Amino acid sequence: MNDGVNGVALAVFIFFFLAVTVMGFLAARWRKAENEHSLDEWGLGGRSFGTWVTWFLLGGDLYTAYTFVAVPAAIYAAGAAGFFAVPYTILVYPLIFTFLPRLWSVSHKHGYVTTSDFVRGRFGSKGLSLAVAVTGLLATMPYIALQLVGIQAVLDVMGVGGGENTNWFIKDLPLLIAFGVLAAYTYSSGLRAPALIAFVKDTLIYIVIAVAIIYIPIKLGGFDEIFTAANEKYTAAKAGGLVPPEAGQWTYATLALGSALALFMYPHSITATLSSRSREVIRRNTTILPLYSLMLGLLALLGFMAIAAGVKATNPQLAIPQLFEDMFPSWFAGVAFAAIGIGALVPAAIMSIAAANLFTRNIYKDFIKPDATPAQETKVSKLVSLLVKVGALVFVLTMDKTVAINFQLLGGIWILQTFPALVGGLFTRWFHRWALLAGWAVGMVYGTVAAYGVASPTQKHFGGSAKEIPGIGEIGYIGLTAFVLNVVVTVVLTFVLKAAKAPEGIDETRPEDYTADAGDPGVEVELPPATAGTSH
């Protein structure tokens, strides 16, 4: 790793960073609404985004800086087992095609801003709504922190972070500046800022991947050399391989399936979805978003390239930034670093907005100030979005990076436990609200305790997300095991509670609400004020 500062790469990085900063602040004027003081406007962009804006927004939201760094890093360290991210992003799109349009319809009909809003309305339970909201907040915080870790990795490789003996303030100053800029334009522009910046972020990532997948193999002697070098490393280390070992196949399959079920439970995924204009936009997006899965597959190959290029990184998270530094001309390395850096800003902004909306609607309004006006809700959401980012920054600056990764692994296990209430509720009212709450609690406790008991070579607890599946004896994803327990408890208790005639709560939705589209009675056609006649 270079000790000096890569001036050319840094200059290119700063150029793109300044460009998106300007875009972030200008986004406040993009499709400006008459009344900006509502969560629909600040937190959901006026619910007015068309197909392409939604596609870039969802892509920018789901394929984060951490994805860019961590997926190939997993390949670099553990072999083909790291490829689980590719099939899970393929599995997820048919899944969301079935339920996201229904969530969009009922949310537009009733003005729901968060998943917890829907759960409260469907089951008449503030307790269950609170459980979903708290889970969303817990799962989102470390995810934001990991975006900042991604920026920090790039800064370290460029030589900007300072050495270990540098004064902590000087060392972390670039990250503090990046954080301040992110906080400022998210506060002023809301969801419109990441929606606009996502165009730049995704374009840069596609360019970098296209160049990397052609240019680096040419320099390394072709893919045959790359795979041979990777295989030799795995064979020598007796770790992973070009094919997951038989003992790891259950882990691979359950991790892919569990991650697919969890991905659209995250608040930021739902926020980006609810900002779209119609059911048709959601459907179109589920058919064209798999293009990102193709990109992810190519991105994962960078892990093999890092091995063939002889990259030595004690922290695998630095392997890909270091590969770019070593293989690309300085100016293009700057473009690649900008893609990763901006790839952190977009999801971090959406995640902080989603977390703020959850707090405002499902904690502040439900339990603290029930008569809050839309303007008050927006003000609270803006402030909480700042606090969430501050919390993530403190997390990154004060804790070991592995702690952030551990909490993110836990976040995936936790967020999956909201699946029965959210997706189950979109299709049936059969589940009892108390049974759903009990199932959620069992899944959360089991998942946390099981993850706590996983050791790794570097740590005693939270060393991974796979453990032996009770009754089967194979090693599998803890989140999916906890989910199965959750569903079993929910179903059994529902039978018991229904037999006991326990009060079921009031369902404020009706069957036709789940198929309503823009223009139907009670569902406004949300069009951008300045461009009502244009198509997207």
Residues 509 and 122 sit within 8 Å (Cβ to Cβ): yes
Instruction: State the Cα–Cα distance between residues 325 and 303, nearest whole angstrom.
Output: 14
Coil vs helix vs strand at 189: helix
Instruction: State the Cα–Cα distance between residues 374 and 10, nearest whole angstrom.
Output: 42
Residues 353 and 40 sit within 8 Å (Cβ to Cβ): no
Integer CA distances (angstroms), 354 to 108, 141, 142, 260, 474, in order:
17, 11, 14, 20, 36
User: Around Cβ 307, how many Cβ atoms within 10 Å?
Assistant: 22
- 342: closest CA among 146, 142, 64? 64
Coil vs helix vs strand at 475: strand
Instruction: State the Cα–Cα distance between residues 174 and 182, nearest whole angstrom.
Output: 12
Q: What residues pair up with 468 in beta bridges, in sequence order?
A: 475
Residues 8 and 330 sit within 8 Å (Cβ to Cβ): yes
Instruction: State the Cα–Cα distance between residues 204 and 211, nearest whole angstrom.
Output: 11
7-504 is a CATH 3.30.930.10 domain: no
Residues 343 and 64 sit within 8 Å (Cβ to Cβ): yes
Domain boundaries, the chain: 7-504
Instruction: State the Cα–Cα distance between residues 425 and 429, nearest whole angstrom.
Output: 6
- 103: closest CA among 413, 509, 491? 509
Instruction: State both tokens at 17.
Output: 């960073």
- 282: closest CA among 499, 104, 492, 521? 104
Residues 80 and 360 sit within 8 Å (Cβ to Cβ): no
One digit per residue, the tens of pLDDT, for the chain of length 536 reads 445 677 888 899 889 888 888 888 887 666 665 556 677 777 777 777 888 888 888 877 777 777 778 888 888 887 877 788 888 888 888 888 888 899 999 998 888 989 999 999 999 999 999 999 999 998 888 888 888 877 887 888 887 765 554 555 566 777 788 788 888 888 877 888 888 888 888 888 889 989 999 999 999 989 999 998 888 888 876 656 677 777 778 888 888 899 889 888 999 888 888 888 888 888 888 888 888 888 888 888 998 999 999 888 777 878 888 899 889 998 999 999 988 888 888 888 888 889 999 999 999 998 998 888 888 888 899 899 888 888 888 877 776 666 666 777 788 899 999 999 999 999 999 999 999 999 999 999 999 999 888 877 677 777 778 888 887 878 888 989 999 999 999 999 999 999 999 898 888 889 888 888 766 666 655 444 333 333 33
Buried/exposed code over 14-37 (b: 16+ C-beta within 10 A; e: otherwise):
eebbeebbebbeebbebbebeeee
The 10s digit of each residue's pLDDT in 12-65 is 988 988 888 888 888 766 666 555 667 777 777 777 788 888 888 887 777 777
CB proximity list for 21: less than 8 A, separation 6 or greater: 181, 185
Instruction: State the Cα–Cα distance between residues 422 and 432, nearest whole angstrom.
Output: 13
The 10s digit of each residue's pLDDT in 225-242 is 999 888 888 887 665 667
What does 497-519 look like in DSSP terms, one character per residue?
A: HHHTT---------GGGGG--TT
